[in-house]
Structure 1
Amino acid sequence: MSLLHPYFIVAIAYMLFFSVQEVFGKKVEKKWLWFLGIYLILLVGFRDNVGPDYGSYKALYVYSDTKSYYSIFMKMLHMEGPEQLEVEWLYTLVNKILLNVFNAPFYVLTLVVAICATFFKIEYTEDNTFYPFTFTLFMFFPFFFIGESGQIRQNLGTFIVYFAVRYIKERKFWHYLFFIFLASGIHTVCYLFLPMYWLARVPLNKTVMLILIIISVFLSPFEIYRVFGSFLDSMTSDNILVKGLNGYMDESSERLNGGFGVPELMMMILTFFLFAFDTKMKELYPYYEYHRNYAVIGICSYFIFRNNPVFSSRLVGAFIGFSYVLIPNTMYVASGGKKKMIYSFIIALVIFNFLVFSSFFNIKIGRFTIELYKNHILP
């Protein structure tokens, strides 16, 4: 097990302090969440050779400057230009402008991406839970290190989509479509969220949810996703980045061949909360049905794509990341004793995820340890 750098320990302590306040005290002002966001932006935006895919993204930064603006424009229109773009148009455009116009060092790109991702993450968190610090702490391991500090393209794209859920609530289709357009310009996987404008409002009950999940578990060994051919490959392939992801995620051959691992455990936990609190959440929590539908899609997709480590992490992770907000939200409808039990379970799960994250040496591989983490402006 490796020792996490004190910078991250400070963030964890900060989140835990305000988490206790918001759960057992009064609502915490949003400005304290922004202070956390600014601090995390410094840690992520100015990191120096930190993150499992840092080198790959740095190479991609230089490579983007070889593409013409006309080719980027044609890619935006989903047409072929004189040059082939291996990465989505908006991300390539941001890279090219920073390098071609401003001759900016690579950490300026990571800073810009960190600022955008943090803005959308805070707005989405504030919109969808009464416990933003608890949810952020709950998602810190491993999502902060795989997302904001790792797969920055998919992380930014999905948080743009998460932010746009407010337009599903307001029934503003063109607003939602615009943000899907922007998000898909960062990462193609965000196209999968377009049907959610309609699917988020589909009525489900426990019987239907159970049937869907059981069918998905049954279909898992048959790898039915192969019928989609190269379509799903295009959504998940990052070319030079795939190697970085696979080197960072510890996928044992035993689990991929039908064994039981941490992902299956998390699916069980999410499923339990989904069924145990469904009735009360429908009665008391605003827009709970949207979160529930995302969760069902995520759980079913996980089992369908389970035999493919890239699909089961990238495609499914986009939906699961949203649906995990259900777990802390259940405290809103729980009584005093149950609320304490749920909170204790969340903190225990944070500790568990940290231990698992450390035991797989992901902290060291990502250079997040006290001896390996470096920052351009922090000592």
Structure 2
Amino acid sequence: MSVLHPYFIVAIVYMLFFSIQEVFGKKVDKKWLWFLGVYLIILVGFRDNVGPDYGSYRGLYIYSDTKSYESIFLKMLHMEGSDHLDVEWLYTLVNKLLLNVFDAPFYVLTLVVAIAAIFFKVEYTEDNTFYPFTFTLFMFVPYFFVGESGQIRQNLATFIVYFAIRYIKQRQLWHYLFFIFIASGIHTVSYLFLPMYWFARVPLSKTIMLLLIIVSVFLSPFEVYRVFGDFLSGMASDNVLVEGLNGYMDESIERLNGGFGIPEAMMMILTFFLFAFDTKMKELYPYYEYHRAYAVIGICFYFIFRNNPVFSSRLVGAFIGFSFVIIPNAMYVVSSGMKKMIYAFILALVIFNIIVFCSFNNIKVGRFTTELYNNHILP
């Protein structure tokens, strides 16, 4: 088993310290969350040849300079120019500007993307849970290494969309559409969130939720997603980046053919929390119904796309990443004794995820170990 670099262990200990305080003490000032955010920006923004897709993104960075501004503008309008863009217009534009205007090295791009991603991550976390450190700790492994340090385009785009949930709450449609537009310029998976402005407010009883999930499980072997063809393929694929993803996310043949693995276990856990605490969450937690809607869609999508390792990770992950907020939020609506049990369970999951992550090849492929991790400014 490999060991995470001490820089990441420091972040975990920091989150654990404030997590205990916010759960069993008083609310932690937001400035401490921002301190964590700055530290994570340094770790991921200045990383040097770290991350499963690092080489692919670096090649894409240089290649973006061959695209004309006219083609980028036409791509924004969903039209094709003289140059074919391999990725979305806004991401290509940022790449090209950094090269043309500033002649910036590649780590400047990773820094810019990290700053934007962490900003939106901190804001949506603070907006949607009373336990931001607990939620961030819960999601740190493996999501920080697959997201901020891996699939940086989809990661940034989904954080922008998560941030925009505040405009669903405020019923500001044009604000929400603007952020969907910006996020879609980074990754087309953002279009999946467009209907959420209306669907998030649809009432879902336990009976309806159960029916939707059962139907999705039943549809799983039939691969009904193939009906959408290139539409979903375009959202899930990153062209030159798919190879990097496949080398990092190891999907066993047994699990894809009906076996049981960690993803299925996490779906079961999320489903349990969804049903076990639904009544109390509706009564006591503001905007819980929105979280529930994301969770139901994520669970259903997971089973529908289960036979496709790219769809079941990229498309589903966009929804599941937000819906996991239900698990720490459940502590807000239960008794003191139950809160301790839930918190102990969350810590057990954190430890389990770290052990699994360090046991598999993922940690070495991503170069997150003590021996392999490098940073441009840290020793």
Band of TM-score, shorter chain: over 0.9
Q: Give the match for residue 65 of structure 1.
A: 65
* CA deviations over 1:246-291 (Å, ceiling 9, x no partner): 1001110000110000000000000000000000000000000000
**1:41 maps to amino acid:** I
Output the CA distance in 2 between the equivalents of 1:36 and 1:278.
31
TM-score where L is the length of structure 2: 1.00
CA shift, 1:355, in A, is: 1.1
Give the secondary-structure state (helix, strand or coil) at the position aligned to 1:309.
coil
Which runs of 4 or more aligned residues in structure 1 lie more than 4 Å from their structure 2 counterparts after TM superposition?
none
Output the CA distance in 1 between the equivalents of 2:36 and 2:345.
23
Q: Give the match for residue 41 of structure 1.
A: 41
The total of aligned residue pairs comes to 379
CA shift, 1:343, in A, is: 0.2
CA shift, 1:233, in A, is: 0.6
Give the secondary-structure state (helix, strand or coil) at the position aligned to 2:310.
helix
Give the secondary-structure state (helix, strand or coil) at the position aligned to 2:109.
helix
CA shift, 1:74, in A, is: 0.2
The share of aligned pairs that are identical, in percent, is: 84
Alpha-carbon contact 1:364-1:372 (below 8 Å) kept: yes
**2:303 maps to amino acid:** F
Output the CA distance in 2 between the equivalents of 1:128 and 1:234.
30
Q: Give the match for residue 266 of structure 1.
A: 266
Q: Give the match for residue 31 of structure 2.
A: 31
Structure 2 residue 160 is the aligned partner of structure 1 residue 160: yes
CA shift, 1:191, in A, is: 0.4
Alpha-carbon contact 1:19-1:131 (below 8 Å) kept: yes
Structure 2 residue 339 is the aligned partner of structure 1 residue 365: no
What RMSD, in angstroms, separates the aligned Cα atoms of the two structures?
A: 0.4
* CA deviations over 1:190-240 (Å, ceiling 9, x no partner): 000000000000000100000000000000000000011111111111111
Q: Give the match for residue 105 of structure 1.
A: 105
CA shift, 1:358, in A, is: 1.4
Output the CA distance in 1 between the equivalents of 2:113 and 2:104.
14
Q: Give the match for residue 4 of structure 1.
A: 4
CA shift, 1:361, in A, is: 1.6
**2:72 maps to amino acid:** I
Structure 2 residue 375 is the aligned partner of structure 1 residue 375: yes
Alpha-carbon contact 1:250-1:360 (below 8 Å) kept: no
Q: Which runs of no fewer than 5 residues in structure 2 stay unpaired?
A: none
CA shift, 1:360, in A, is: 1.5
Q: Give the match for residue 239 of structure 1.
A: 239
Aligned ranges 1:46-125 → 2 under 5 Å: 46-125=46-125
**1:145 maps to amino acid:** F
Output the CA distance in 1 between the equivalents of 2:311 and 2:12.
30
Structure 2 residue 343 is the aligned partner of structure 1 residue 308: no
* CA deviations over 1:49-95 (Å, ceiling 9, x no partner): 00000000000000000000000000001111111111000000000
Output the CA distance in 2 between the equivalents of 1:80 and 1:64.
16
**2:85 maps to amino acid:** L
Q: Which runs of no fewer than 5 residues in structure 1 stay unpaired?
A: none
Output the CA distance in 2 between the equivalents of 1:177 and 1:118.
21
Q: Give the match for residue 355 of structure 1.
A: 355
Q: Give the match for residue 143 of structure 2.
A: 143
CA shift, 1:359, in A, is: 1.6
Q: Give the match for residue 183 of structure 1.
A: 183
TM-score where L is the length of structure 1: 1.00
CA shift, 1:357, in A, is: 1.1
Alpha-carbon contact 1:37-1:122 (below 8 Å) kept: yes
Alpha-carbon contact 1:52-1:245 (below 8 Å) kept: yes
Q: Give the match for residue 322 of structure 2.
A: 322
